[in-house]
Structure 1
Amino acid sequence: MNSTKPMHLKGNANQNNDDREGNHGNSRRDSSGSYQEATVYNPTYTKSNSRKKKKRNTDTRLPIDKASWFSILTFSWVTPLFIKGWKGTLKTEDLTVASYKDSSEMNSHRLETRWAHILTKHGSKDASLFSALLYAMRSGVICSTIALTISTSTSLVSSTVVMRRLIAFTQSPEPDFFYGSLLVVLFTSLEFTRTACVSFALYLTERVAGRIRAALVAMVYHKILRLRSLKGKSVGELINLCTNDGQRVFDLCRSLPMGIVGIFICVLSLIASYVILGWTAVLGTTSYIVFYPLQMFLSKLITRFRQHCIKITDKRVRLMSEVITCIKLIKMYAWEIPFAKQIGAIRNQERSVLEKTGYVQSLSTSMLPVVSIMSASFTIILHTSLGYDIDVAQLSEFQNSDIRRNSRFLTLPKI
């Protein structure tokens, strides 16, 4: 006699049967007796959503390539990375892949193509690698120079013309509100333009310098791979060529636009100082002439220390290569301690030279604000001692138009 069970009892029986079969309610059994996961229909799942999700997860481009102009000028594209680093330790997966535009493959190919053209045109004797580097970074240097020139011009106009008129406006007995508002808007616009141009120049010079360094190091690496022998060159010299010399080229690319703009700043500052205070300001600001020979002496001293450090580094690398090659012999005769002391002594000598280089470079950098303050003080003392009067507006205008306001452009690159 067949008895029919109610629907709720059938549901419980099916559920118990699924439990007995190992909770394979959403699975199906194949011919071999094993269970396979059944496909569950999801109405919200489509191929387009899957593609979008996959594209979003695999987008590892550098954030600066996707950033807007406002994000580039304010450097806000790197803010999420700073926040993540502030909350915890950054991991490898937190960093994005470098842009292909900044890769050594693309930039080295462009540099090698230009270098091959120069070799074909001038020959191996008259060819200059520096001209190839200038050709590779010409667009970045030109744009950075233009941006820094605009920044300097707006800084001088806002600090000399607009600021002086604002001071005179505050001292007038019957000030015009519309005229004062116009001066404030003009001053704000000029300062915003100056800041935007400086940010753009900094972004452009850093990125162009990184591309040039990557291209040059890759070019040297490819050349080393094609050589059958080092032809008298040591391993330390090759390592120094890819590290120290590459960093010096990076510093040159970063400082070259500032050096070009520095000449323009000197001329504008001398003209503005002469208009404000007269010939006494010209005598005071020419004290920077003494600053340049001292800067050149310190730069040459830094270069001499670096050349001496190259020899010590080469000696240490050679000794380390011998130790690695003959490690079995050193272990057999228990020569680990004597070799370790010898390598340690060479390393201490190398560190001493690097410390001297750092001290000289710090001295060269710290001299800049001291010289600017001495120049301004000498100018004011000379102006007042000759019987000339100076008011608050002239003092403020001279202080803002003096070379020391833009003296960061007058430092020589340590290359």
Structure 2
Amino acid sequence: GKRNVKNQTGDREVASVLPALWKSNWYTIVISGIFKLVQDLLQLVSPLLLSLLIAHLGRSSNEEDWKGFLFMGALIVTVTLQTLCNNYYTYLASLIGMRLRCALVEAVYQKSLIISNKARRESTGGEISNLMSIDTQRFQDCMTFVHHIWSSPLQIVLTVYFLWNYLGVATISGVVILVILIPINIKVTVLLRTLRMEQMKKKDERVRLINEVLSSIKVLKLYAWEPSFEDRIKDIRQKEVKILRRLAYINAVLNSFWFTAPVVVTLASFATFVLIDDANVLDAQKIFVSLTLFNIMRLPMGLLPVIIGHLIQVNM
């Protein structure tokens, strides 16, 4: 999302598309953020209503049955509103991503028509095609998760707060595991960024060589250089595929790691709750509500590597 450009004094500055994106889509971005916030809050209301419903069903008397129907109706309404808000947020985020992609494609196309001869020699048609197809698509994909940058940490913090009200000190064991995962995630992110930059360099090198081959195909056939250039292209492609394979392995391990993390956190919290005090008992209310909260935490924790991956690609 950033490029080095020269100002009037000849010095290089970092240009970004983010200010232009905000000025042209700020209203839609704010509205989508509001719907995302409402959806997150409604998602956390569901465990509270479930707790009230389970507590009501656990009573021995059948008095005030209307409260049970009230809690159940409120739970249904909450889930319905949550789904509607989430769907509308997804629609707005996709709309922003599509607008951004169209604007970037047009900007790249217009720029390709007016670049100087020197810049035209440095940029091949394949590189411009990659910018208009692959790179712009990454921006569109990133906009789908743009609000998760603040939403995921907010959900995790609020979920931990509610878990503290149900499990008390035992929640610390789960939080400690989450804190341990942060530096691991940072190291993996740095590794992913390094590999992604290497892969982009190999891809640009391959596209540039293919463009040279296509533009000089008559000369290649005249001197029978096809096998030589074919070997060079295959060699670059093999190196690129090797890097892509490493990226796929790391992403697979990272995704599996983050999706299993909530399970480990749940087991650690429940085990700590039972072991720290013999008087602590895991009743139905604590188990179901805690599992619901841990399940809510699973999505933001699982989306973290996805968001980080998209940000790495867009930042390049």
> Above 0.5 in TM-score?
yes
User: Are 1:209 and 2:97 counterparts?
Assistant: yes
1:170 alignment partner, one of 28, 46, 57? 57
Following superposition, the deviation at residue 196 of structure 1 comes to: 1.0
User: Are 1:329 and 2:216 counterparts?
Assistant: no
User: Are 1:137 and 2:32 counterparts?
Assistant: no
Provide the residue aligned with 1:345 in structure 2.
235
Opposite residue 130 of structure 1, the aligned amino acid is L
Distance 1:389 1:323 in 2: 73
Distance 1:378 1:248 in 2: 37
Following superposition, the deviation at residue 265 of structure 1 comes to: 1.3
Distance 2:14 2:244 in 1: 35
C-alpha spacing 1:197/1:303, structure 2 compared with 1 (3 Å): same
C-alpha spacing 1:250/1:223, structure 2 compared with 1 (3 Å): same
Provide the residue aligned with 2:82 in structure 1.
194
Superposed counterparts of 1:171-250, under 5 Å: 171-175=58-62, 176-231=64-119, 233-235=122-124, 237-250=127-140
Distance 2:102 2:281 in 1: 56
- SS at 2:57 equivalent: helix
C-alpha spacing 1:329/1:188, structure 2 compared with 1 (3 Å): same
Provide the residue aligned with 2:45 in structure 1.
157
Opposite residue 211 of structure 1, the aligned amino acid is R
Provide the residue aligned with 2:200 in structure 1.
310
Is the CA contact (8 Å cut-off) linking 1:252 and 1:413 kept in structure 2? no
Following superposition, the deviation at residue 365 of structure 1 comes to: 2.1
Give the number of equivalent residue pairs.
292
Is the CA contact (8 Å cut-off) linking 2:156 and 2:297 kept in structure 1? no
Is the CA contact (8 Å cut-off) linking 1:133 and 1:212 kept in structure 2? yes
Opposite residue 300 of structure 2, the aligned amino acid is F
User: Are 1:361 and 2:251 counterparts?
Assistant: yes
Provide the residue aligned with 2:149 in structure 1.
259
Following superposition, the deviation at residue 331 of structure 1 comes to: 1.9
Is the CA contact (8 Å cut-off) linking 2:46 and 2:79 kept in structure 1? yes
Following superposition, the deviation at residue 230 of structure 1 comes to: 4.8
Distance 1:361 1:255 in 2: 17
C-alpha spacing 1:147/1:265, structure 2 compared with 1 (3 Å): same
- SS at 2:106 equivalent: helix
Distance 1:230 1:372 in 2: 54
C-alpha spacing 1:217/1:413, structure 2 compared with 1 (3 Å): farther
Is the CA contact (8 Å cut-off) linking 2:100 and 2:140 kept in structure 1? yes
- What is the root-mean-square deviation of aligned Cα atoms in Å? 2.5
Give 5+ residue unaligned stretches, structure 1. 1-118
Provide the residue aligned with 1:413 in structure 2.
308
Provide the residue aligned with 2:170 in structure 1.
280
Distance 1:317 1:142 in 2: 39
Indicate the structure (1 or 2) with the bigger Cα radius of gyration: 1
Provide the residue aligned with 1:389 in structure 2.
281
Is the CA contact (8 Å cut-off) linking 1:319 and 1:343 kept in structure 2? yes
Provide the residue aligned with 1:399 in structure 2.
291
Give the structure with the higher percent helix: 2
Distance 2:186 2:204 in 1: 27
Is the CA contact (8 Å cut-off) linking 1:298 and 1:361 kept in structure 2? no
Distance 1:208 1:247 in 2: 12
TM-score (norm 2): 0.83
Is the CA contact (8 Å cut-off) linking 1:208 and 1:253 kept in structure 2? yes
Distance 2:140 2:189 in 1: 16
Opposite residue 183 of structure 1, the aligned amino acid is F
Is the CA contact (8 Å cut-off) linking 2:262 and 2:297 kept in structure 1? no
Distance 2:164 2:142 in 1: 33
TM-score (norm 1): 0.64
- SS at 1:241 equivalent: helix
Note the alpha carbon deviations across 1:84-133, whole angstroms, 9 max, x for none.
xxxxxxxxxxxxxxxxxxxxxxxxxxxxxxxxxxx9xxx99586432222
Distance 1:294 1:251 in 2: 25
Is the CA contact (8 Å cut-off) linking 1:136 and 1:212 kept in structure 2? no
Is the CA contact (8 Å cut-off) linking 1:285 and 1:376 kept in structure 2? no
Following superposition, the deviation at residue 244 of structure 1 comes to: 4.1
